[in-house]
Structure 1
Amino acid sequence: MRRTIAVATVLLAAGCTTPAPPVIPPAVDYSVWSAGRSTPVADPLYPEKGNPGLDVLHYGLELDWKPDTKVLTGVATLRIRPVVDAPSITLDFTGLTVDRVLVDGAAGTGSVAASKLVVPTPVVAGRPVTLTVAYHGTPSAVAMPSHRGDADEGIGMRAGKDGTLWTMQEPWGALTWYPVNEHPSDEALYDMAVTVPEGWTAAAGGTPGEVSGGTWHYRSTDPVASYVTTLSVDRYRKLTATGPHGLPITDFVRDGADDRYLPVLKRTPELIGWLEERLGRYPYPTAGILMNDSVSAMETQQMLSMGRGAFRDNDLDYFEAVLIHEYAHQWFGNAVTPTTWTDLWLNEGWATYVQNLYEQKLYGFDDAYLKNYLRRRDAELRASVGPPGTPKAGTFAESNVYLCPAAMLREIHEDLGDKKFFALATAWAADNRNRSQDRAGFTTFVNTETGKDYTTLINEWLDSPTTPK
């Protein structure tokens, strides 16, 4: 009653004018991001990463990099489909300061601890929300759970002493530069706008868009797993070419530092053509690479990340073979993504075997040599690291998940012959495009596609402590 009287008094004092109705923002049409819908799961190897209760449909990243101060300022807008009711929104995030949080446009709060951003706003299953997080800081890499030779440099975004910025981030690391549901089962669409000073270039994954006022735009209309997103800022020179069926190719190189790679990069249309003959049409609207200061290479989607430190001996044949490997991942790993990290062999086995086949062409060795090499290395790796189908959390992406499943694929290839084997590879990538898959799905697909039962062979190659006979 008191509230009614107070309102009436105000109206009388104002000459009985009727106040304007409140402005109600239009409802968000989340269906425009439906291609980013996923079925997130908890990871058996790394359950602390990711949140199976959330499905991020789209990431809108507005980033600004200052090379002189080495400060990254960001605004991340996430379109989220909650999978379960929850008292808060929990994402992976570390190393940067949160400045502002909005939930559906209303002010919220958020705290970062133990590599998690927690926004204490309840969510309801099936009722999408928009989360906006503004943040800043100097990104730094985190530890990689592996004994690999490149593990010492860490994973995630880092700033170079010269003001450059780059990332390598498998199995995680996106959390070092934007709030993310850091798990391969939750793929999403992306829009990135990265602002850099004059004389600098921002290279990122996705399809390159306009460059306006120092802001570089990139868009991913196919879903992307967070570990294959990328961003690099450097004093790049941009090279363009056209691949098969008019495919736009964009490479980012640094004059002087990357001159030696140019002869191979110029042959990228030929390399993609070789892959298409065996695997089917390249699955994305654009291709390309960026060079950075890593000691590794990465199959980042639509824009490969190739580390200069991985090719110190000036072996261009090796660079070419690795380029084939990373491009093969666009079919195996990116177009078809493993549901959990237990099935990393699905990515690496295929990419490694495709690389092996290309190396036959490059170096001239025969089938018998390849088979003997794979079986010898398989035996060594099973003894030292274990079988590829049951990896350990502390030995992420070690050589057993590369070479052991490649040896398995060699056995299937020999049994089927070229025509049927490459038909199988093409169908696997095409029929499962933009989906997550696992061992059971692969086994069923192979058996159905070939009309033969490979279940025992696949299980033995993935689980046996010794090389199958």
Structure 2
Amino acid sequence: MTPRRLRGAVATVLSLSVLAGCSDGAAPDEPADTPSAAASSDGTAPESPAPGSESPAAGGPDDPSGPVVGEPVEPDLDLAVSTPREDSVYPAVGDPRVDALHYGLDLTWDPDAERLRGEAVVTFRAARTARRFQLDLGAPLTVGRVALDGEPIRFARVGKDLVLRAPIEEDQRYELSLDYVGTPEPAPAPTTRADFSTTGFTVTPDGEVWTMQEPYGAYTWYPVNDQPSDKALYDITVHAPRRWTGISNGELTELTSDARGTTTSWQLDEPASSYLVTLAIGRYEHSSNTSDSGLRVDYWTPRDLRRPLDSIRTAAASVDWIEARLGDYPFDSLGLVVTDSQSAMETQAMVTLGTNDYVFSPQVVAHELVHQWYGDQVSPSDWRDVWLNEGMTMLLQWVYEDEHDIRPLRQSLRSARAVDQQLRDAYGPPGAYDPRQFGSSNIYYTPALMWNELREDLGDDEFYALARSWLADNDNTSVSREQIYDHWEAETGRELSAFFDRWIMGRRTPAPGVPQG
């Protein structure tokens, strides 16, 4: 996620949260010395060129050939073996008995009826022996046929819990298949923020669809073990109306259209946590550009968008900038999809962007791209450690702003330190935040300040070398704070646990300085 800017008044600071954008689209009355951590200023933008062709996924003026369609590969299920756990912050979501390896989803969207039909095949490993297990699936969705390894099984619905009444044995692999239909409803979000109150499947007044689902909400549109420690592979096929396009994560492996509608298929062949999955269905056109390192970046934008794309097309150059610090881009494909949201989300290999001015800014694009390394390549195993995603990413956003003459780094650091105690008082320490205040500013600014202390002490070369080695050592996994503490202690040869704990768990802002012993 991208944080919002902080306003000047203390009372206002304490009421703010951090996803990019705000619900009323108003520009904040921001003093010059507050951190640029994202807000919307949804003013009038110059008109973009007229929409492109009415054929599905038509190429824009910079991309007349349209998107590249690749060949699907056989999923390597071993990549997705995880150690699922019960979440300490949101224990009602997810089942530690299930280690999902692959989700095969075939989805049909009828915008007139606002009706979703889904066929799901979930390949999973039993993480423990049990007489029953469960997945998360939104209550408005009616389940039909359910089978385990081809044999019908009994099931029960308890709210969002789909309880499967069949025995499973530890380390054995199974294939669960089911059909479902209904009108998905977004889930209430565990936050008091003004800019969003729900997560998951969202339908616009025109019947178009977008999703953002941190910390949970994927269950609003498919059966899932909706907890970040359980990464899985995905193949998603979307059947949309004629002249519409379904967008999801990873490589586009099918794009066909006939009188009945448009079908797209997407493959994510490296594992992702469920909150990093995206789905957007609407009237889209396509364009692309390429980074200096040779990565093609695809842009999926609404045909009626009246907003210049120059600022988000900086994504290709931002990849090069990030690679110089964090190493090679960790996935095989990269895209950005623009939706009717007012927010931005680091959905894996297909970033989801809303449509206000700040979300469209180069620094927000860079923020969400840094997350492809910190948050997507390596994810938290428990929502208590969401700061692992946001702290490093916030620091690199500040460095990006400094080096691109957007905002001096010293100003961002000074402003963040000035409000750090207020954020701890309002929301708790970043590693022990109030569960009703998910995504507040404390998980962004506080750990960013901590990482900067280490960066200044070690110097850029060593700091970024250790940041890269952490990613390499934990590629495609979900991790805990204890693991990252151990990594930095081992690599620096210092006792840093107390330093980390003061920043992440302390009730008071720590004094500057990094221990030398």
Displacement after TM superposition at 1:328 (Å)? 0.6
From the superposition, tell whether residues 31 and 141 of structure 1 become closer, same or farther in structure 2 (CA, over 3 Å).
closer
Given residue 293 of structure 1, which amino acid in structure 2 is its aligned partner?
A: D
> Of the candidates 256, 274, 280, which is equivalent to residue 327 of structure 2?
280
Q: Pick from 173, 186, 190 the counterpart of residue 145 of structure 1.
A: 190
SS at 1:68 equivalent: coil
Which residue of the partner structure matches residue 254 of structure 2?
A: 210
Aligned counterpart in structure 2 of residue 264 of structure 1, from 311, 319, 323: 311
Structure having the higher helix fraction is: 1
Contact 1:57 1:188 in 2 (8 A): yes
The counterpart of 1:254, out of the listed 299, 302, 310, is 302
1:99 corresponds in structure 2 to 144
Tell me, yes or no, if structure 1 residue 73 matches structure 2 residue 117. Answer: yes
C-alpha separation between the residues in 2 aligned to 1:343 and 1:265?
Answer: 29
User: Counterpart in 1 of 2:95?
Assistant: 51
- Structure 2 stretches lacking a partner, 5+ long: 1-73, 512-517
Counterpart check, 1:219 vs 2:267: yes
Shift in alpha-carbon separation, 1:307–1:125, aligned structure 2, 3 A: same
Could you tell me how far apart the structure 1 residues matched to 2:98 and 2:306 are?
Answer: 41
One-letter identity of the residue aligned with 1:270? A
Letter in 1 for 2:425: A
Q: Does 1:342 align with 2:342?
A: no
Aligned counterparts of 1:353 and 1:390: Cα–Cα separation in 2:
20
Moved more, 359-368 or 201-210: 359-368
Q: Report the CA distance between 1:141 and its aligned residue.
A: 0.5
CA shift at 1:191, angstroms? 0.5
CA distance in 2, matches of 1:324, 1:133: 39
Structure 1 position 204, deviation (Å): 0.6
C-alpha distance in structure 2 between counterparts of 1:351 and 1:387, whole Å: 18
TM-aligned CA distance change 1:204 to 1:409, over 3 Å: same
| Cα shift at 1:32 | 4.0
Does the 8 Å CA contact 2:187/2:217 hold for their aligned counterparts? yes
Deviations 1:90-110 (A, max 9, x none): 111112111211111122233
Q: How far did 1:36 drift?
A: 1.1
1:333 lines up with 2:375 in the alignment: yes
Question: Is the CA contact 1:258–1:291 (under 8 Å) kept in the aligned structure 2?
Answer: no
Instruction: Judge conservation of contact 2:130–2:169 (CA < 8 Å) in 1.
Output: yes
Instruction: Give the CA deviation at 1:143.
Output: 0.5
Give 1:405's aligned residue. Answer: 447
Q: CA offsets per residue over residues 310-341 of structure 1, 9 Å max, x none?
A: x2xx358x621111111111000110110100
Residues 425-456 of structure 1, C-alpha deviation per residue, up to 9 Å, x if partnerless? 22222221101111111111011122233222
Give the 3 Å change call, closer, same or farther, for CA 181–258 of structure 1 in structure 2: farther
Residue by residue over 1:129-166, the C-alpha shift from the partner in whole angstroms, topping out at 9 and shown as x without a partner, is 110010011111010001222232x0010222201011
Alignment of 1:123-272 (within 5 A): 123-152=168-197, 154-213=198-257, 214-260=262-308, 262-272=309-319
Q: Distance in 2 between matches of 1:422 and 1:59?
A: 35
**Are 2:132 and 1:88 equivalent residues in the alignment?**
yes
Distance change (3 Å), C-alpha of 1:403 and 1:171: same
Find the counterpart in structure 2 of residue 395 from structure 1: 437
Q: 1:130 to 1:315 in 2, by over 3 A?
A: closer
- Secondary structure, counterpart of 1:259 in structure 2: coil
- Distance (Å, rounded) in 1 between the aligned partners of 2:271 and 2:149: 23
Q: How far is 1:175 from its partner?
A: 0.3
- Paired residue secondary structure (1:468): coil
Where relative contact order (Cα < 8 A, 6+ residues apart) is larger, the structure is 2
Would the aligned equivalents of 1:39 and 1:185 in 2 still touch at CA under 8 Å? yes
SS at match of 2:255: strand
Q: Which amino acid in structure 2 is aligned with residue 271 of structure 1? A: S
Task: Write the distance in 2 (CA, Å) between the matches of 1:259 and 1:372.
Answer: 33
Q: For residues 31 and 140 of structure 1, what CA distance do their matches in structure 2 show?
A: 30
Shift of 1:249: 1.4
Q: Which amino acid aligns with 2:276?
A: V
* 1:361 Cα offset (Å): 2.3
CA distance in 1: counterparts of 2:109 and 2:394, whole angstroms = 35
Question: What's the counterpart of residue 345 of structure 2?
Answer: 298
Deviates more, 1:427-436 or 1:214-223: 427-436
Selected match of 2:166 from 111, 121, 127: 121
User: d(CA) in 2 for partners of 1:461 and 1:136?
Assistant: 47
Q: Which amino acid aligns with 2:313?
A: K
Change (3 A) 1:254 1:31: closer
Please tell me whether residue 360 in structure 1 is matched to residue 402 in structure 2: yes
- Tell me, what secondary structure is at the counterpart of 2:216? coil
Distance 1:362 1:256 in 2: 30
Distance in 2 (CA, whole Å) between partners of 1:357 and 1:31 is: 37
Flag the 1:346–1:340 CA change in 2: closer, same or farther, 3 A. same
Q: CA deviation at 1:364?
A: 5.1
Aligned with 2:171: secondary structure? coil
Q: What SS class does the counterpart of residue 266 from structure 2 fall into?
A: strand
Shift in CA distance, 373/303, structure 1 to aligned 2, threshold 3 Å: same
Percent of aligned pairs sharing the same letter: 37
Q: Which has the larger radius of gyration?
A: 1
Indicate the SS of the match to 1:223. strand
Partner of 1:423: 465
Deviates more, 1:418-427 or 1:30-39: 30-39
Cα distance in 2, alignment partners of residues 195 and 371 from structure 1: 47
Q: Distance in 1 between matches of 2:408 and 2:114?
A: 51
What is the identity, as a one-letter code, of the residue corresponding to 1:250? Answer: D
Is this contact kept in 2: 1:248–1:285, CA < 8 A?
no
Corresponding letter in the other structure for 2:90: Y
Farther off after superposition, 393-402 or 209-218: 209-218
418-427 or 49-58, larger mean C-alpha shift = 418-427
Q: Displacement of 1:252 after TM fit?
A: 0.6
Helix, strand or coil for the counterpart of 1:245?
coil
CA distance in 1, matches of 2:363, 2:477: 27
CA contact (8 A) 1:98 1:111 kept: no
* Distance change (3 Å), C-alpha of 1:195 and 1:417: same
Letter of the aligned partner of 2:310 in structure 1?
A: P
